[in-house]
Chains A and B, each alone.
Chain A
Amino acid sequence: MNTAIDTRPKDEPTTYLNADYTVRSWLLTVDHKRIAILYLVSISIFFLVGAIFAGLIRLELLTPRGDLVQSDTYNKLFTMHGVVMIFFFLVPSIPAVLGNFLIPLMIGARDLAFPRINLLSWYIFMIGAGFALYAMITGGLDTGWTFYTPFSTSASTTNVIPAALGVFITGFSSILTGLNFIVTIHTMRAPGLTWMRLPLFVWAHYATSLIMILGTPVLAITILLVAVERGLHLGFFDPKLGGDPILFQHLFWFYSHPAVYIMILPGMGVISELVTAFSRKRVFGYAFIAVSSLMIAVLGFVVWGHHMFTSGQSVYVGMVFSFLSMAVAIPSAVKVFNWTATLYKGSVSWDSPMLYALGFIGLFTIGGLTGLFLATLGLDVHVHDTYFVVAHFHYVMVGGAIMAYLGGIHFWWPKITGRMYPEALAKVAGVIVFLGFNLTFFPQFIVGYLGMPRRYHVYPDEFQVLNVMSTAGATILGIGYLLPMLYLPWSLRFGERAIANPWGAAGLEWETASPPPTENFVRTPIVTAEAYDYETSVQFPPAPANGSMKEAAVG
């Protein structure tokens, strides 16, 4: 397949990483593993950009008065933080990096069904990101990440059109990724890999992909209409023309609520893998976890109105949305119960990915339960648009999705790079992230419940103590995120070489070499057992608790 000049040392086997070193071989690659790396690098940059905005927001909120920035600048800061983190980090994070890398490996395929479309997705993502960056650099955006009309269509004086186009374009990257995953999971599974033997990570990505192709186009058309209404003066939502701005919210949240599940479902898939691997136990209630992913994807589409309880939407529809929103808690709770039951009597080891997994379970539970408060129509009127909401969704997005992302990156790092990272440092980072996160966002529940509204750069003096705590937590959290960004690249050169299956985990991806060869498997595997068959299968060496993987492999 690859005809480039072979420059690697004689003793190294060919892997997807050393098959070719040219820039061209990376930018024109159709290998899903290399495309995952392209995504990893690009979204890491966006994470840094979004984190800088977050840091500036927290710095401003250190004092009750607007000492650092004016209100206009503050509006741009929280808007751009939201746009970057959601559209350019969270939505692509786990699917485009880990999903891209792992799905073909986990199902025993040589690549995704449409490798060139996969590469195209990355280019579309980068073009969309280019538009968004242009909007940010040349004056910013102040509509909030939600682009609410009529502010976005007629009142705002900032760069709405380039930002909207950026989101529109990036949407297609997400759609094509989802399409690729769906087809791959349907048609490319290895012989014997039936649906009920699929890893839960794959199930979660299947559900996510359904949301991507069913929801994202609605956002695309909506955001395009905003740009058209603003640029060409066609009226769609404009109340001056008798239009209904709430319709924009309907269309927007029809995607953007399910999008929350685009961000969290893959994370749940990662956690299912981590919990079983480090409990050395068959997952409890496999079918329930698998089906609950689909349930979340389906139910997630009929709850969007809970973002609009105070918008003036019909109170009857509000009641239906309130009820349905509570129903989504059921499949989510099924997952949490099953993970906990998997831990029960398992031989749990405390490796760094597991720390992130346990952190996820705790933080997601808090985020999910406070979601129930907000789904309650009456209570939501009280806490709507306060820091309570901010804390809630950060517990799900940061405490949930990013914890899972980091856990997954650590878990599969040896597979992706062929190197081990410094485990002790990783544990420290995991603990710092957990503590810093809670110190940042738990005070926001309280300050929100006390009535501090979001999206203001000034606030009454009595809220300062809690805000100082929050800013201090953000600093600690920042350090926690910085550590992996340093030691993971460090490990590329200086890390211990990883064996094929350093964790002794079950799954096809651990059967091929680390890092895998370009064609993934030298021979197409045939699957004869269900996933997570830790009790009966003895083919993997158990992982030692002290973390010295290399010796374990030899012995």
Chain B
Amino acid sequence: MAELAAHAHHDVNVAHQFDDAEQQKESVTVGMWAFLVNEVMFFGGLFGLYIVYRFLHPTAFQHASHHLDVTLGTFNTAVLIGSSLTMALAVHAAQMSHNRFRQIFWVMATVVLGSVFLGVKVYEYYHKWVDHLIPGPNFHWPDAGEAHAVQIFYSLYFAMTGLHALHMIIGVGIMAWLMWAMWKGRFGPAYHNPVEVCGLYWHFVDIVWIFLFPLLYLIGRH
């Protein structure tokens, strides 16, 4: 049986288990996508519950949804799509040059937009508290007949947007690390896997919101 000569690594960016940068890049990309598949299934369980309960209680869900602020929801959607653009530009910056200020600028812009989104979310949550729409002993809904179904809607609302917000908070943490690594001058045209992978994560969180927004805010508005 023939054997290949063991070869020493000269590229500091290639981990010892990989043969070359190309193999590493493919592994990292597929790995991140496999993780995102797992994330899809993770959120998918909640979406499944949402579909069934909306099917069972269509009008109650419609009424409950009317207490969400479409203006803020639309604004936040725009903000999040904007942050996806800045993230894509951060990846682009790393692909094109070693200019760390440009890289950090776009990541910083992403963090700022992400924080705006989270800030709006906090404001919305606060109003749900004021309006007694948080499930539990404090919950109050005028129409007793559909109060239960409305409570389920709001349980799902908080679970889905809460989990989404948690992902964004983790994302902001990841971005902080990314900026630190950029400051160290780690990334450039030859090596920027971590920037790409963090970008994939951020875009995925954006996609989740793309579905959450119409499903939660836009039920039967006419």
Contacts and interface: CB of A to CB of B under 8 A. Distances in A.
Bound together: yes
B17 A235 contact: no
B42 A236 contact: no
Interface in B121-153: 135-137, 148-149, 151-152
Contact of B17 (A109, A236, A254, A526): A109
A72 to B, nearest CB: 29
Contacts of B149: 241-242
Contacts of B37: 213-214
B16 interface: yes
B42 A221 contact: yes
Contacts of B53: 243-244
B12 interface: no
Given A112-B17, A234-B158, A523-B3, A251 B136 contact: no
Interface string A212-256: 011111101110010011001111100011111001001100100
A222 B45 contact: yes
A115 B3 CA distance: 24
Contacts of B99: none
A5 interface: no
A410 interface: no
Contacts of A218: 41-42, 44-45
Contacts of B97: none
Contacts of B49: 225, 236, 247, 251
Contacts of B69: none
B48 interface: yes
A433 interface: no
A180 B136 CA distance: 41
B83 to A, nearest CB: 24
B1 A188 contact: no
A179 B159 CA distance: 26
B16 A110 contact: yes
Given A213-B38, A539-B1, A113 B159 contact: no
Nearest to B23: A187
Interface string A390-404: 000000000000000
B4 A526 contact: yes
B17 A179 contact: no
B42 A251 contact: no
Interface string B54-72: 0011000000000000000
A234 B38 contact: no
Contacts of B44: 217-218, 221
Contacts of A247: 48-49, 52
A139 interface: no
Contacts of B152: 235-236, 241-243
A153 B26 CA distance: 43
B41 A524 contact: no
Given A244-B52, A523-B3, A216 B38 contact: yes
B42 A220 contact: yes
Contacts of B4: 191, 523-526
Instruction: Name which of A111, A216, A233, A234 has the most chain B CB atoms within 10 A of its CB.
Output: A234
A213 B34 CA distance: 7
Nearest to A1: B16
A179 B135 contact: no
B135 A234 contact: yes
Nearest to B137: A233
A217 B34 contact: no
Contact of A217 (B26, B38, B148): B38
Contacts of A250: 48
A186 interface: yes
Instruction: Name which of A112, A217, A222 has the most chain B CB atoms within 10 A of its CB.
Output: A217
Interface in B11-36: 15-19, 23, 26-27, 30-31, 34-35
Nearest to A248: B49
A182 B156 CA distance: 33
A510 to B, nearest CB: 12
A523 B34 contact: no
Nearest to A109: B17
Interface in B60-112: none
A183 interface: yes
A175 interface: yes
Contact of A113 (B5, B17, B42): B17
B135 A235 contact: yes
Contacts of A113: 17-18, 27, 31
B26 A524 contact: no
B17 A115 contact: yes
B41 A215 contact: yes
A205 to B, nearest CB: 14
A522 B43 CA distance: 44
Given A113-B31, A179-B34, A524-B6, A188 B17 contact: yes
Nearest to B45: A221
A546 interface: no
A228 B39 CA distance: 19
A11 to B, nearest CB: 24
Instruction: Name which of B16, B38, B48, B149 has the most chain A CB atoms within 10 A of its CB.
Output: B38
Nearest to A254: B45
Nearest first, the 5 closest Cβ-Cβ pairs linking A and B are: A217-B42, A221-B45, A234-B155, A111-B17, A242-B148
Interface of B: 1-6, 15-19, 23, 26-27, 30-31, 34-35, 37-39, 41-46, 48-49, 52-53, 56-57, 135-137, 148-149, 151-152, 155-156, 158-159
11 contacts: A179-B38, A187-B26, A214-B41, A217-B39, A218-B45, A234-B136, A242-B56, A243-B53, A244-B53, A244-B56, A251-B49
